[in-house]
Amino acid sequence: MKPLADCRLYAFVDTAFLRGRPPEDIARRLCAGGADLIQLRAKGLPAAEVQRLAGRILPVTRSAGVGLMINDHPALALAVGALGCHLGQEDFAATGCANVRELFATGSPVSPQRSAAGHQPSTSNREPLIGLSTHAPAEAQRAVAAGADYLGVGPVFATGTKPDARPVTPDYVRWAAANVTIPWFAIGGINLDTLDAVLTAGARRVCVVSAILSAPDIAGTCRQFKERLLSAAP
């Protein structure tokens, strides 16, 4: 697993886009295409089902040296031995925690004694990573103060994955480029046509969901994103 600061392409196994395809197969294609991080996002599914999906994906990501993040379930991410978890800004605020590390002491919806694959979870001393979505400078500042390891910055453009969210436009990306010192990823409506605008605004890391998962060639589309990210100025 490469350091977070060196990650450029953050891809997703989103159950809303599986369309009957095995999640581990999607993960395999994302890894083959050069994804640096993969997030399992399964909105609306019970924790036990998210755990089962993680158990199918983790062997793929581990063998490829790619970190798996779990959306919405910090205790589950800890229990299964994932790299970490990602929360929306509103979800984190609702926990009442002042620091993101408190999330791992609030109890788990699954037993922490066994991993999703049925084995003991990793005994590594590495603390799980926590990412927070942000939609404005004030939220970014609060997330950094709370100890987030990375930020999501967006949605930059209108996106079908969050149709009710108002785009923050590249203006927020420019603010993040000038003010955020921890790793951050631009997200929302980013595809191969809008990528240049995001890079021009200062982003060097992006999250991509539908533009990759809806592509006929998932691995090939990943490679196109990755090549353009790597060719952008540091």
Say how far apart CA 119 and CA 167 lie, in whole Å. Answer: 42
Give the pLDDT confidence score for residue 120 in this predicted structure.
36
* pLDDT less than 50: residues of the chain: 107-124
Give the pLDDT confidence score for residue 125 in this predicted structure.
52
Say how far apart CA 148 and CA 135 lie, in whole Å. Answer: 15
Domains with residue ranges and CATH for the chain: 4-231 (3.20.20.70)
Give the pLDDT confidence score for residue 48 in this predicted structure.
95
Say how far apart CA 154 and CA 20 lie, in whole Å. Answer: 29
Give the pLDDT confidence score for residue 115 in this predicted structure.
38
Contacts of 71 (CB under 8 A, 6+ apart): 39, 40, 41, 42, 43, 85, 86, 87
Cis peptide before 3 (omega within 30 of 0): no
Give the pLDDT confidence score for residue 89 in this predicted structure.
87
Cα separation values, 223 from 88, 117, 118, 121, 140, Å: 28, 29, 33, 32, 29
- Contact (CB, 8 A) for 206 and 34: no
